[in-house]
Amino acid sequence: MACIDDFQYVYINSADRLSGSDADFTYSINLDPNNEFDHVTVKQIAVPKSYYSVSSGYNYFTLTELGFSIKVIIPAANYNRVSLALVIASQLNAASVSLGHGWTYVVSYPNANTVGDTGFYTYTVSGNTGQPTFTFDTITFINLNMGFSSNSSYVFSVNSLTSVNVTNLQPFSCIQVHCDLVNGGFTKGFNQSDILFTLLANVGSISFGQIGYYSQDFEGDARKLVGNQTNVARFYLTDENNIPMILNGDSIQITLLFWKKNRALQYLHKVSGFMTGAVQESRELARQQQFENPKVEVVEEPPPDIEYEHIE
């Protein structure tokens, strides 16, 4: 860590939080009161994959039969393609009974042992006296699980409806760790300035396992500190759409490296780079002159030794 003047490690366990939940909490951080830290790096992190593929609050759509509508809620949980198809059909059947119709729904998908697998669901209805409609809001992700687009309505045709997209049982790709200790700017209209770290959500981990990362580039993974004298920090998790995550009682662990950048060394690197560039530019100019006038002799000289005085 030659580019660091001073550093301190801090271990975070959301189970030891001051307030909040495992996915949105405040935490006591005891930094050296005389510190001059200007950067922080997530040195290592472990996030439980305890969040669900169908998440509470984003797990509903609207069924309309003969002009009457009802909200259909898919219980929050993890599903595979088989179990999700069965639960959707069961919830549709219960909703139709509530509407007083009692239509029967079945959700199917291609049998990969006999035909090509498209990844689509096909929804069929029987015992009906009209064509039902599915409607999805802009703020739910159940449409991704079911293979449809958000903010859209889909009407059955001849008692059948095939999803327009591949069913997605992992509706988000990233876990963003936010913290009010950092500031990095705005992205895509969201206040993303407090993103401390971003994890790939679905790589190399199974449901109810752990998603881990260990930094081997503390400078590349660093974020600039907003302030270095705070005793309490807030951490919270979202997906890439800024939707809050729910960890269902499992805690996260983070090891933070607070550090101060060695400004003198940074300055020397800049000076050294400038001098090296100047020498290279001089050599290129000499070669160009020799090309234009072969009588000019190019003498290759090593770059001069640079002596530096100590910079406070």
Return the half-sphere exposure (C-beta side, CA atoms, 13 A cut-off) of residue 9: 6
Q: Which pLDDT value is given to residue 290?
A: 60
Q: What is the pLDDT of residue 113?
A: 86
Please state, for a pLDDT cut of 90, what percent of the chain lies above it. 55
Determine the pLDDT at residue 185. Answer: 45
Residue 167 predicted with pLDDT over 70: yes
Cα distance between residue 4 and residue 218, in whole Å: 11
Strand ranges (DSSP E) for the chain? 4-13, 19-21, 24-28, 39-48, 60-65, 68-73, 104-108, 122-126, 133-136, 152-155, 160-162, 174-179, 195-200, 210-214, 222-224, 232-238, 253-261
Reported as type and span, the H/E element at residue 96 is: helix 81-98
The model's confidence at residue 28, banded by pLDDT at 50, 70 and 90, is very high
CA torsion, ordered 31, 36, 39, 40, to nearest 10 deg: -10
pLDDT of residue 61 exceeding 90, the answer is yes
Higher pLDDT, 293 or 68: 68
Asked if the model's pLDDT at residue 230 lies above 80, the reply is: no
Give the model confidence (pLDDT) of 242-253 as tens digits.
889 999 999 999
Higher per-residue confidence, 84 vs 187 = 84
Cα 12 to Cα 29: distance, rounded to the nearest angstrom: 8
**pTM of the full predicted structure?**
0.75
**Residue found under tokens 């919270």:** 236
Q: Please report the pLDDT score of residue 218 as a whole number.
A: 87
Sequence-distant (6+) residues with CB within 8 A of 283 are 298, 300
Answer whether residue 274 shows pLDDT above 60.
no
Report the pLDDT value the prediction gives residue 15, as an integer from 0 to 100: 96
Chain-wide mean pLDDT for the chain? 85
With tokens 């009906």, the residue in question is 128
Residue range 263-292: mean pLDDT, rounded? 58
Buried b (16+ CB within 10 A) or exposed e, 250-269: bbbbbbbbbbbbbeeeeeee
Domains of the chain listed by start with CATH number: 4-53+171-261 (2.60.120.1100), 60-162 (no CATH), 262-312 (no CATH)
Please tell me which residue, 71 or 191, carries the higher pLDDT value.
71
pLDDT class for 282, splitting at 50, 70, 90?
low
Determine the pLDDT at residue 1: 53
Q: Between 132 and 301, name the one with better pLDDT.
A: 132
C-alpha of 130 from chain center:
42
Q: Is the predicted pLDDT of residue 268 greater than 50, yes or no? A: no
Q: Give yes or no for a contact between 248 and 53, defined as CB atoms under 8 angstroms apart.
A: no
Q: In a 3-state reduction of DSSP, which class is residue 71?
A: strand
Report the alpha-carbon distance of residue 261 to residue 222 in Å, rounded: 11
8 A C-beta contact, residue 233 and residue 19: no
The reported pLDDT for the residue numbered 277 is 58
